[in-house]
Chains A and B, each alone.
Chain A
Amino acid sequence: MTAEILGRGRARVEGPAKVTGAAKYAADLHPSGLAYGYLVLATVGRGTVTAVDAEAALASPGVLAVYSPFNPLKLYGGIVHSDQSFLGQNWLPLQDAEVRHHGQIVGLVVADTFEQARRGAALVRVVYDARPPVADFAAALPNAVSPGPINGEPDVLDLLAPGVPSIEAALAAAPVRAGGTYTQPPKNPVPLEPHATVAVWDQAGLTLHLGTQAAMPSALTVAAALGQDPARVRVLSEHVGGGFGGKLYTWAHPLLTAAAAQALGRPVKTVITHEQMFSVTGNRTPVHQTVELGASADGALQAVKHEAVSGLSTSGLIFEQAAHTTSRYLYKAPNIHVAQKVAMLDAPPSTWMRAPGEEPGSFALESAMDELAAKLNLDPVELRLRNYSTVVPGRGVPWSSKHLDECYRLGAARFGWNRRAQRPGSVREGDWLIGYGMASAAYPGNQFPYTMAKVRLRADGGAEVSSATADLGTGMRTVLSSVVAERLGLPGERVAAVLGDSVLPMNYGAFASAGTASTATAARAAASAAVAQLVQVAVQNAASPFHGLDPKDVVYAEGRLTGPGGLDAAFGELLTRIDVSGVEAQDGSAPPPDARNFAVHSFGAHFCEVRVHAWTSEVRLRRFTSVIDAGRIVNERTARSQIAGGLVFGIGQALFEGSVMEPASGRTANANLAEYLIPVNADVPVFDIQFLSHPDTNFNEFGARGIGELGTVGSAAAIANALFNATGRRVRDLPVTVDKLFG
């Protein structure tokens, strides 16, 4: 009955709620007495607010309040530099008059209806003393600076063979060299659900409905900024309409919304617009990379040099660590040099976005590997196999489990890679040029420390598992329900999963592809603890038929307790009989493996076929094969969707996505879904996604590694390499738009 609940494709447990409109997202809440907030954003890229005229706004129908740097809501700045902070930027809104980037918050208008608030915001007149922003990434490159250590290693890291004086010397000695400069624009995670906040105060404190990947860290951050006892702030995020990194950190508008609700004595809802999302919430930084590879004539890498400069907002916090997350370890080479710098920009906050670091890094490295294969006249798969790493360069430790070679071989066979023409531009079907490309993918197997879960066995015979994580569409509810159902020997539908609430057992949240490794292992441990607790209650309760027995003689299996002399009771019957509503226990995830013994990554290989129109250069993707090595797959259906969704992020990276920042003003010129293009249905090819099944028990008892970001790693390079194979044109500047292929 339950043996195969894991692995196969159990349907998403909250599916029916989501197809009927019953599932509630933050913006769907409508407490009585609700007022609406609308943000006023800066229209200059740098400078100072010298005056705010709110008179017309305050006289406008329905407007309740206009907050600005000159009529601020008090926030406490200690949170900005706190270790506990999940604040997504390094300043708090309205606490000073400085404008740090175009589109930053300079005001909040609250009114009885949304349209009245929007109208009020349009009437607020803000006067600036403007200064020119540093908003031109290319012009800022020469001023790039050291960001300090990356993942505990120097920002300029040389792993050189004995006697080799420099990476330049190693490159100079290599008979074959390839590489180039690879560039890409800033991007926004663009979850479909705009960031929404509904703040409700009562005697118990603040309840904040917030679309977030991290309910508990959000609650701590909001509490600190508002000067509240953390016990008085509860964050609820029952359903989240996608995140992709953009809803990991707490942004400025929930803080203002909560403070305004307190000041006005009314619940306040602030839903930012998609346009505002580009400047009020975080972005992926632009990246400029150079990769140089040196190899012997047989394709053995002699030197790998990868230098990256990423933008970094002066508002903070995150930059793309492109070289250290890719060329640092992906291939075996006697000489490796990786370096990272940051170019400071007066831009909206920079943040984590799906596969941060690996997304740009893999595009550069895996494009360069394709260029090297072309120079060597060697099959790109064969080149990668010849440089396969089995231990981490410079550290000598093996991977906990690595089957990337099998990904290459199986992927090539499934795809029909042997039909690829080595000579670019040589395959044509009518007016279409056909090309094949491939690339590798690797993403760290992350696991959070101190993740807790609780399992409750109820008198009605069902069970409940809870933890303060989120389900952004990842399938976490389904995974938790399935994992606990398997451990308890119950049908999946008897195990409810509760998450999206900061008061549940400790959990950092849903990010870094760490959800299954962290929360599912904690849930499994909690289920075992709950069974032990059940046995204790059974032998201690005087009304129990198991009373007085040694706990060792009571056995739990498939939802029943059995004991000597034919004692047998389903746990629900037992609890009912002894008049106990339920038993519960908490437990935590095991600590992650010692990094001194193993490196942990998920791996994959992507293969893709493109068509390019010979006369118009229109690009169409025809098919994708991805073979994934991510340990044990807990639910193949939701896992598959995670990979497919990740591949579509790679398609966006390769062909469509990029914020266009006006250099003079720092304004994002295409901050809307009409002009910031993401792939639509008709842009997406057929996916052939295959999972290897090598449980990684060196990583955790479960054998499961993360998959949420892996599909995004390398997929853009596979497309760019296929475009080269189709046309003979190597495009190193993303996205690859028609003009770059034309002529």
Chain B
Amino acid sequence: MRITFTCNGRLTEADGVWEGESLLYVLRERVGLPGSKNACEQGECGSCTVYLDGDPVCSCLVAAGQVQGREVRTVEGLADGDELDPVQQAFVEAGAVQCGFCTPGLLVQTHDLLERQAQPSDAEIREALSGNLCRCTGYEKIMDAVRLAAARRAESAERVN
């Protein structure tokens, strides 16, 4: 079948899709967006997290057929052109990136967390990100990155006001 959806603001089509394959597979193997990572394929690790109609989902658990006519945003769509999103910038600066495999999912999840909760407590951050497994960092620099991103967003919000 052909599926048509909006991906990172662009109308996107994929042909020859089997409706039972995952959104993750469509993104990675059919539309040339391998930024979302394929790790556990069972919704445990969060490496494949993308926005679907504004909600973070594990794209390995979303069937391709479910995406018809809907809106997807991946790690490739977080930056504004060459300008990194504050969450991306904070992950680089805080040293929250090691092997980088969990990073795309963590960025989307963190982006969502800060959209919903501008100033999360440490406990709220840990809980919100506990569905995103990381085997390298020990999580502490990820915590630093989320705090930094939250502070930056608050600063820029203040400037706008």
Contact = CB atoms under 8 A, between A and B. Distances in A.
A22 B35 contact: yes
A190 B99 CA distance: 13
Contact of A673 (B44, B76, B89): B44
Best-surrounded residue of A15, A640, A687 (most CB of chain B within 10 A): A15
27 contacts: A12-B97, A15-B97, A16-B84, A18-B100, A19-B103, A21-B33, A21-B76, A22-B35, A25-B34, A25-B101, A113-B18, A114-B29, A191-B101, A193-B37, A242-B99, A271-B38, A473-B98, A473-B99, A640-B95, A644-B140, A647-B138, A672-B40, A674-B40, A678-B133, A678-B135, A681-B130, A686-B140
Nearest to A637: B95
Given A21-B33, A672-B42, A15 B91 contact: yes
Given A114-B29, A638-B95, 8 more contacts: A9-B95, A14-B100, A192-B45, A192-B133, A241-B39, A241-B100, A643-B138, A681-B142
Best-surrounded residue of A20, A28, A273, A673 (most CB of chain B within 10 A): A20
Nearest to B99: A473
B28 A682 contact: no
A313 to B, nearest CB: 23
Nearest to B32: A30
B56 interface: no
Contacts of B21: 113-115
A491 B70 CA distance: 46
A147 interface: no
Best-surrounded residue of B32, B41, B138, B139 (most CB of chain A within 10 A): B138
A310 to B, nearest CB: 23
A622 to B, nearest CB: 13
Given A192-B47, A274-B41, A637-B95, A473 B100 contact: yes
Nearest to B128: A681
Contact of A648 (B25, B28, B103, B138): B138
A148 to B, nearest CB: 33
Top 10 A-B pairs, shortest CB-CB distance: A21-B35, A473-B99, A644-B138, A241-B101, A473-B98, A18-B100, A28-B34, A15-B92, A673-B44, A19-B88
B137 A645 contact: yes
A472 interface: yes
A288 interface: no
B132 interface: yes
Given A18-B103, A30-B29, A192 B92 contact: no
Contacts of A686: 140
Interface string A77-119: 0000000000000000000000000000000000001110000
Interface residues of A, number: 57
A680 B130 contact: yes
Given A191-B99, A193-B99, A644-B141, A20 B35 contact: yes
Best-surrounded residue of A30, A114, A684 (most CB of chain B within 10 A): A684
Contacts of B99: 191-193, 239-242, 472-473
A241 B75 contact: no
Interface in A458-508: 472-475
A27 interface: yes
Interface string A19-42: 111111101101000000000000
Interface in A642-691: 643-648, 672-674, 678, 680-682, 684, 686-687
Interface of B: 18, 20-21, 25, 28-29, 32-42, 44-45, 47, 74-76, 78-79, 84, 88-89, 91-93, 95, 97-104, 107, 123, 125-127, 129-143
A588 interface: no
Contacts of A190: 135
Given A21-B35, A21-B75, A274-B41, A16 B135 contact: no
B133 A673 contact: yes
Contacts of A15: 91-92, 97
A192 B44 contact: no
Best-surrounded residue of B18, B25, B91, B140 (most CB of chain A within 10 A): B140
Contact of B84 (A9, A19, A114): A19
A673 B42 contact: yes
A682 B126 contact: yes
B76 A645 contact: no
A15 B93 CA distance: 8
B30 to A, nearest CB: 9
A509 interface: no
A645 B136 contact: yes
A11 B92 contact: yes
Nearest to A61: B18
Contacts of B101: 25, 191-193, 241-242
A20 B79 contact: yes
Contact of B28 (A28, A647, A687): A28
A192 B102 contact: yes
A279 to B, nearest CB: 16
A699 interface: no
Contacts of A30: 29, 32, 34
Contact of A12 (B20, B37, B92): B92
A680 B133 contact: yes
B45 to A, nearest CB: 6
Contacts of A474: 98
Given A21-B104, A674-B44, A192 B134 contact: yes
Interface string A204-247: 00000000000000000000000000000000000111101000
A194 interface: yes
Best-surrounded residue of A30, A193, A680 (most CB of chain B within 10 A): A680
B28 to A, nearest CB: 7
A540 interface: no
Nearest to B36: A21
Contacts of B93: 11
A644 to B, nearest CB: 3
Nearest to A240: B99
A681 B28 CA distance: 27
Interface string A625-642: 000000000000110110
A27 B140 contact: no
B25 A114 contact: yes
Given A673-B42, A681-B130, A19 B136 contact: no
A223 to B, nearest CB: 27
B34 to A, nearest CB: 4
Given A192-B39, A271-B38, A672-B44, A682 B130 contact: yes
A648 B141 CA distance: 13
A607 B129 CA distance: 26
Contacts of A680: 130-131, 133
Contacts of A9: 95
B39 A193 contact: yes
A673 B40 contact: yes
Contacts of A473: 97-100, 136
Contacts of B35: 20-22
